[in-house]
């Protein structure tokens, strides 16, 4: 449960920060945008670092049971969205890291050390990675909307314990 909510908060922060920072103009020197990009990259790397223990925890623990009365397509969809989350929690930080590498911009990890470049400087690759990162972000937003929407639907419409099982104060 702690992993779930920590990752949820980090992903929401990353999406909000990402959407806000790309809305800022690129022209001229905007120190605020540069700082936001740096924070965004560092938070993304934190997600990447937490993904391994999160995944290992997930492998060693039983999945929460889905509501028995759910139609099979909803059960499949729920599992698919969760798998997408894992894939996106890996793909987004990696594409961000690759993007920084292709742009020859170092990636700091909380000011403790700098990650090595994964690829050499390549402007065309950088542009392609921007697009990949953007579309993966849209996929993450879609998964978040579906996941949150389903949790709210279970709580308020179906009135089952799906959401309550994931709340800390249950």
- The kind and range of the H/E element at 108 are strand 107-109
Q: What is the pLDDT of residue 64?
A: 75
Check residue 38 and give left, alpha or beta (phi > 0: left; psi -120 to 50: alpha).
alpha
Task: Identify the segments of the chain with pLDDT beneath 50.
Answer: none
Number of other residues whose CB lies within 10 A of the CB of residue 137? 19
Q: What is the pLDDT of residue 170?
A: 56
Q: What is the pLDDT of residue 162?
A: 67
CATH number of the domain bearing residue 29: 1.20.950.20
CA 77 – CA 99 distance, rounded (Å): 31
Q: What is the pLDDT of residue 80?
A: 94
Q: What is the pLDDT of residue 5?
A: 87
Q: What is the pLDDT of residue 167?
A: 73
Q: Give the residue numbers spanning the domain of 74.
A: 2-166
Q: How many domains does the chain have?
A: 1
């Amino acid at each position: 449960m702690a992993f779930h909510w920590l990752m949820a908060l980090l992903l929401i922060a990353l999406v909000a920060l990402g959407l806000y920072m790309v809305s800022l103009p690129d022209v001229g020197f905007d120190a605020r945008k540069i700082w936001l990009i740096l924070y965004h990259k560092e938070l993304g790397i934190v997600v990447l670092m937490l993904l391994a223990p999160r995944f290992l925890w997930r492998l060693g623990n039983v999945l929460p049971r889905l509501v028995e009365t759910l139609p099979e397509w909803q059960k499949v969809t729920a599992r698919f969205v969760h798998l997408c989350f894992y894939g996106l929690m890996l793909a987004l930080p990696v594409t961000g890291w690759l993007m920084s590498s292709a742009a020859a911009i170092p990636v700091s990890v909380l000011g403790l050390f700098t990650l090595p470049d994964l690829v050499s400087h390549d402007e065309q690759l950088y542009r392609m990675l921007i697009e990949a990162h953007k579309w993966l972000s849209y996929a993450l937003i879609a998964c978040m909307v579906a996941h949150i929407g389903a949790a709210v639907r279970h709580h308020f419409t179906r009135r089952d314990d799906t959401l309550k099982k994931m709340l800390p104060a249950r």
